[in-house]
Amino acid sequence: MEKNPVSLLEHPEQSLRKKSIYDMTYEQMEDWAVSKGWKKFRIQQIYNWLYKSRVDSFEEMTNLSKETRKALSEEFEFTPLELVRQQIAKDGTRKFLFRTEDGALLESVMMVFDYGNSVCVSSQVGCNMGCAFCASGLTKKSRNLKASEMVAQVMAIQKELDRSNERVSHIVVMGTGEPFDNYENVMNFLKTVNHDRGLAIGSRHITISTCGVVPKIYEFADGHYQYNLAVSLHAPNNRLRDSLMPINKAYPLEELMKAIDYYTKENNRRLTFEYILLNGVNNSVEDAKELARLLRPYNCYVNLIPYNSVDEHGFRPVNREEAMKFYDVLKKEKIAVTIRKEHGSDIDAACGQLRIKEIRKGRK
Ligand code: SAH
C-alpha cells in the first residue's frame, strides 16, 4: 500500500465559477472557437495539448499565441480534482481517492488485464439506487459528477501511467453512482475520452453499467452508440430482485427485459448481465435454472461477480466451488457465461469502500 498525497489543483486560488476545460467536448470547443471568431483548427491544437501532451496549464500550450492562452484562461480552468490517496494492490490494481472542489470524495480504480489497463470511473457523489449489498449506497447521492470530473479521473490516472509509458486502454463506468441517473454528463465525458483527438479510447473498450433505469436504456439504444452496455441483474425473478434492488420496484423485470430486447435488436449487439453471487441468497441451482430461462431469448453474456464483502450489509460471498456449480448450470443451459476475476481484494476494492472509510474518519 502506498500513501501518496499529490495535489493536482493547478490554480487553487482560481475562481470556482470558471468552467473546467475538461467539460468541453470537441464539438463544444469548436463552437466556442467560432464564437470567438477563431478558426476551428485551433481546437485541434488545444485538444492535442490537453489529451496528447497532457499539459497541466494553458501557459504550457506554447504554439498558441499569448492572446489565445489568455482567452482560454479567462474562461476555463484545469482539473477540478485533487488526488488524496493512492493504494496499490499486489496484483497491480490501483485505487485512487479524489477530492472535488466542493470537498466531496470520490474514487476510481485501475485494473491491469492482459489486454490492457481498465479504469473504473465514478459517475456521482454517493448513489440513490440503494442496492442492498453495495457500499456506494451507504451515502445518498449528494450530486451528479460533471463531465470534467469524470474526464479528470481518467486524466489523473493516465498521467500516473505516463511515468511508465503505459496507457488507459479501457473504461468501465462502474464506480460509485448510477450513470443513467446522470446521462448527459456521462455521455459528454465518454465523447471526450473516445474522441480521436481526445484520449482515443475505442468505443468497444468502453462499458457503461446500469442497475436498470429503463427509460435511459431506450434513449441509449436510440443513440446507436458503439459502447458496451452492462446491466446489473443479480436476481432471476421480481421477488428476489425487489428485495435486493429498489429500482426493480420502479422498473420490474418484464419492463427491463423489454427495453433490453429493444436495445439488442436496434443495435444488433450483445449485452452483458452482471450477477453477483450472494451466498444463500441468489446462488442456488434453482436460481441458476430460473436465470437461464429468463435470459435464453436474449443475445447476451452473463458475468458472475464474486461478492466483495461490505461490513455493514451482512451478505457473504460464495467459494470457488459454489461459483462453479452456478456457472455449470448456466453453461449446460447454453448461456454464455464467465466468472469475473477478483481484483485488488487486499485494498478495499468494492465500489465505494475507500470513500466510506475516509468519510467515517471524519476528514471530509
Ligand atoms: N449503478 C451501476 C454502476 C455502478 S455498480 C450499476 O448498478 O450497474 C457496478 C457493479 O458493481 C454493479 O453490477 C453492482 O451491482 C456491483 N457491485 C456493487 N457492490 C458490489 C460488491 N460489494 N461486490 C461486488 N460487486 C458489487
Of 30, 107, 149, 160, the active-site residue reads 107
Q: Are residues 358 and 255 in the same domain?
A: yes
pLDDT given for residue 12 in this prediction: 45
Tell me whether residue 9 is in a domain: no
Spacing, Cα 303 to ligand 1 middle (Å) = 12
Ligand 1, CB cutoff 6 Å, lining residues:
129, 131, 133-135, 174, 178, 209-211, 232, 274, 276, 305, 307-308, 310, 350-351
Secondary structure element (H or E) that encloses residue 358, with its range: helix 353-360
**Pure H helices in 163-284:** 183-194, 214-223, 238-244, 247-250, 253-267
User: Which of 30, 49, 77 is where one domain is finished?
Assistant: 77
**Domain total in the chain:** 2
- Asked if 14 contacts 58 with a C-beta cutoff of 8 angstroms, the reply is no
Q: Are residues 58 and 181 in the same domain?
A: no
Q: Write the CATH number for 298.
A: 3.20.20.70
Residue 126 marked as a ligand binder: no
Q: For 9-55, how does the pLDDT look when each residue is reduced to its tens digit (9 = 90+)?
A: 444 444 456 899 999 999 999 999 999 999 988 999 999 999 999 99
Task: Give the up-direction half-sphere exposure of residue 211: CA atoms within 13 A in the CB hemisphere.
Answer: 27
Q: For 343-362, how does the pLDDT look when each residue is reduced to its tens digit (9 = 90+)?
A: 777 776 555 666 767 776 75
Chain-wide mean pLDDT for the chain?
Answer: 91
Tell me whether residue 13 is in a domain: no
Q: Write the CATH number for 36.
A: 1.10.150.530
Instruction: List 172's β-bridge partners, or say none.
Output: 120, 207
Residue 77 marked as a ligand binder: no
SS3 of the chain: helix, strand, coil, percent, to 5: 40, 20, 40
Q: Are residues 49 and 156 in the same domain?
A: no
Instruction: List 19's β-bridge partners, or say none.
Output: 76
Distance between CA atoms of residues 56 and 172, nearest Å = 25
Q: Are residues 159 and 271 in the same domain?
A: yes
Q: Are residues 207 and 95 in the same domain?
A: yes
Q: Is the dihedral of CA 187, 189, 194, 195 positive or negative?
A: positive
Residue 345 marked as a ligand binder: no
Known catalytic membership, residue 351: yes
- Asked if 326 contacts 282 with a C-beta cutoff of 8 angstroms, the reply is no
| Cell 435511459, residue located | 216
Spacing, Cα 247 to ligand 1 middle (Å) = 13
CA triple 61-72-155, angle to 5 deg: 60
Q: How do beta strands 336-339 and 300-306 pair? A: parallel
Q: Are residues 65 and 92 in the same domain?
A: no
Q: For 46-76, how does the pLDDT look when each residue is reduced to its tens digit (9 = 90+)?
A: 999 999 999 999 999 999 999 999 999 999 9
User: Which of 77, 92, 116 is where one domain is finished?
Assistant: 77
pLDDT given for residue 197 in this prediction: 95
pTM: 0.92
Q: Are residues 283 and 150 in the same domain?
A: yes
Q: Are residues 61 and 145 in the same domain?
A: no
Known catalytic membership, residue 107: yes
Q: Which domain holds residue 63?
A: 18-77
Q: Are residues 228 and 93 in the same domain?
A: yes
Instruction: List 97's β-bridge partners, or say none.
Output: 85, 107
Tell me whether residue 12 is in a domain: no
Q: Which atom of ligand 1 is nearest to the CA of 352?
A: 19
Q: Are residues 239 and 148 in the same domain?
A: yes
